[in-house]
Amino acid sequence: MRPARNRTTTTGSFDAFSQIHLATAAERAVHWCFASDPDACWSDAEVAFAARLDISTARWALERFADAGIVEEVEEGCYRWRPEHRYALDRGEPETAIRDPVCGMPVGLDAAYQAEDVFGRTERFCSERCMAAFLVWGLAFTRRRGAEPGRSPVADGHGP
């Protein structure tokens, strides 16, 4: 059984983001490469060297970030952190009305991954990974009735 959360403790968007997208040591190492120079384009070899990872592990982490829309491939094998996700590097809050209910990342109305919550509302997700977490632990990530659609339940201290 999981210990109860202290309701006075708030979890920010970065904490929600990191629980889903920085779950492994490789993802955290790659994140810190981008955090060191967010405007730079990084090749997979540069990321592997800077993060002290083998090339296949670096590529795996970069592919996961690209699939989630966190980084963009600006040319073959060269990645840049997406500007709309800069808050995750600065440990701030995203500037958007619609957020993924699992990780708090900004998502658009046309997000590729969508599912209904228990109230029949459509939720949008940044990645298949977040949608899968929502489908498995739906009640943990479902916003209360009348809650702001842009707030992540995890960011409000509700969720795993």
113-160 confidence digits (pLDDT tens): 899 988 888 999 988 888 999 999 888 888 776 665 555 555 444 444
Q: CA-to-CA distance for 56 and 152, rounded, in angstroms?
A: 33
- pLDDT of 55 > 60? The answer is yes
Domains (range + CATH), the chain: 13-87 (1.10.10.10)
Determine the 3-state secondary structure of 30 from DSSP.
Answer: helix
**What is the average per-residue pLDDT within 73-83?**
88
- pLDDT of 44 > 80? The answer is yes
**What is the average per-residue pLDDT within 93-106?**
78
Q: Which residues contact 62 (CB under 8 A, 6 or more apart)?
A: 30, 44, 47, 71, 79
Query: Predicted confidence band at 104 (pLDDT cuts at 50, 70, 90)?
Result: confident
Asked if 42 contacts 32 with a C-beta cutoff of 8 angstroms, the reply is: no
Query: Predicted confidence band at 5 (pLDDT cuts at 50, 70, 90)?
Result: very low
Tokens representing 147?
């809650």
Q: Which of 139, 147, 126, 108 is nearest to 16 (CA)?
A: 126
- pLDDT of 2 > 50? The answer is no
